[in-house]
Structure 1
Amino acid sequence: MANRVFITGDTHGPSEIGRLNKTFAVGRELDKDDYLVICGDFGLVWADRSKYAYWLRWLDKKPFTTLFVDGNHENFDMLESMPVEQWHGGAVHRVNDSVIHLMRGQVFDIAGRSFFCMGGARSVDKARRTPHISWWPQEIPSPEERDAACAALDARGWQVDYVLTHCAARNVQRLLNPTYENDELTCFLEDVERRLDYRRWFFGHYHEDRPVGERQTAIFEDVVEIVPGDAGDLVRHVYRAEETGPAPAR
């Protein structure tokens, strides 16, 4: 069987990662060449404490490999202390044998498809958080990271199959809720969205599960699979959360 790729939203570390027991029971059928991608706020690279180590071991023992783009709630000091290695065409931090951080501005070739990844987002609650303890200024990609993203897309002729981010582009965020504030990252992603030839774009952050426009999907608790087909890829729901209405982005 061909390698499989699944996508879900924010797991928020120990507080919510266990929901995968319910939403991703299909994982028992997989192997390490199959991938579950988390669209930011992974939350298990946060502190050197036993509860975080427990859940990282829990994921490492799963039959699949866990990939994540960073959100705004990650310990970026810890992430940046990890060695950088090349994996499937892009730069990563390997958290353990089967938990891998897909670094910002990289394009990866996974299961026969190309994925452009750009983590980061603005924390609306940062005034209530402590710098380098519960909030990190690196949550917004630097100009150098944005330049690296453009260089990676230049190398691909501004054409990829899929885009994985934490926050949405400005034009898409406006469709979600016109009162949401924009910043340099949402503006950058809007520029990318207008230039890029892509099939589908998945993002987390807003705690919603719903399509936005024709090619964008906000994802939180849902789990979807990209299913290759002769007539083109399909996006199949493996798990669909109950429609309880959106919670605010964090």
Structure 2
Amino acid sequence: MILFISDTHCAYHLINEQIEYAQEELAIPVSCVIHLGDFGIFRPQLYDFFIRKNGSFLKPVYFIEGNHEDFDAFDSLMKKYNNVYFTYLSRSVVTEIEGYKFLSLGGSAYMDAMTTPTASVIKDHHIDDCLEIHSEGVDIIITHDCPQGIGVPNSPGLEVYGQTGFARGDELARHFSPKLWIFGHHHKWFELEKGNTRYLGLSGSRRGFALLGENYECMIINHHIPFKKPSFLSKALTFLRILRPNGPSH
């Protein structure tokens, strides 16, 4: 089965912990992982997990970008880490994984300059590029943000940003009529059947994941992973790093 997860925000270990839960506690084999954005593409955290600690994922991981990545360094970080530790699925591209044809569209609608850097914003040309793809060439759409107009509620305090989701998603739905459309970003579970499409929104990576099997059978798995309190040693080392930062600049 394909495991879908979203919004790890640099807590890469959560991917392995959710894989282990699926395989060991639920006895469900996982073939690969598709991460739906806010993976945590930041130089210090990537270096710490993959290089300094020699970390790796238990299964192949594919990801699309969210709105919380280091877009200034994104291309250079992809040259170093992409196709080595994980695989980046770029925007408006179809990739076949486990027999399904996935259309990937990372990024999100614009909110403000802090939460949505310019490079993260989904623009008209991304939608246009998607619509150039043959209507029968896509089985499942995967995005970080949801499409506008499907009723995903705003989080408390974010109502000022207006309707959730990015514009022109309805054009993609009409063009491709996908069986599934899976997204993250909003940190809440969401499910809707509309036309021929089942929309599925994932909560944060600490709250669970989704599993996709044959014939588009997709189920939500609630599995909460609590935050671990840092040890005294960890706190002391963090304090020393603040006083005398010596992290790598790789």
TM above 0.5? yes
Q: Does 1:110 align with 2:110?
A: no
> 2:142 maps to which residue?
164
RMSD (CA atoms): 3.2
Q: CA deviation at 1:63?
A: 2.9
Between structures 1 and 2, the one with greater strand share? 1
Q: Does 1:120 align with 2:107?
A: yes
User: Deviation digits for residues 202-244 of structure 1, max 9, x if unmatched?
Assistant: 100100023133501110232222111xxx331134x3145xx
Instruction: For residue 24 of structure 1, give the secondary structure of its aligned residue in structure 2.
Output: helix
Q: CA deviation at 1:175?
A: 4.2
Q: CA deviation at 1:70?
A: 0.7
Structure-1-length-normalised TM-score: 0.71
Q: Does 1:176 align with 2:171?
A: no
Q: Does 1:18 align with 2:13?
A: yes
**Conserved? CA contact 2:154–2:163, under 8 Å:** no
User: Deviation digits for residues 163-219 of structure 1, max 9, x if unmatched?
Assistant: 1101111112x3434955259x71122221233221111100100023133501110
Paired letter, 1:189: G
Instruction: For residue 76 of structure 1, give the secondary structure of its aligned residue in structure 2.
Output: coil
- Within 1, Cα distance between the matches of 2:99 and 2:78? 26
**CA 1:200–1:59 in structure 2 vs 1: closer, same or farther (change >3 Å)?**
farther
**Conserved? CA contact 2:122–2:166, under 8 Å:** no
Paired letter, 1:170: Q
- Within 1, Cα distance between the matches of 2:42 and 2:110? 16
**Conserved? CA contact 2:130–2:172, under 8 Å:** no
Q: Does 1:234 align with 2:217?
A: yes
Q: Does 1:5 align with 2:2?
A: yes
2:185 to 193, 201, 205: 205
**Conserved? CA contact 1:94–1:101, under 8 Å:** no
**Conserved? CA contact 1:41–1:72, under 8 Å:** yes
**Conserved? CA contact 1:159–1:198, under 8 Å:** no
> 1:55 maps to which residue?
49
Structure-2-length-normalised TM-score: 0.71
Instruction: For residue 171 of structure 1, give the secondary structure of its aligned residue in structure 2.
Output: coil
Q: CA deviation at 1:150?
A: 1.9
Moved over 6 A (4+): 27-31
User: Deviation digits for residues 139-158 of structure 1, max 9, x if unmatched?
Assistant: 1134433332222x23xx25
**Conserved? CA contact 2:109–2:167, under 8 Å:** no
- Within 2, Cα distance between the matches of 1:193 and 1:35? 26
- Within 1, Cα distance between the matches of 2:56 and 2:28? 12
- Within 2, Cα distance between the matches of 1:112 and 1:11? 26
**Conserved? CA contact 1:170–1:186, under 8 Å:** yes
- Within 1, Cα distance between the matches of 2:54 and 2:2? 16
> 2:121 maps to which residue?
140
The gaps in structure 1 that reach 5 residues or longer are 85-92, 243-250
Instruction: For residue 23 of structure 1, give the secondary structure of its aligned residue in structure 2.
Output: helix
Query: Structure 1 vs Structure 2: percent identity of aligned residues?
Result: 19
Paired letter, 2:140: Y
Q: Which has the larger radius of gyration?
A: 2
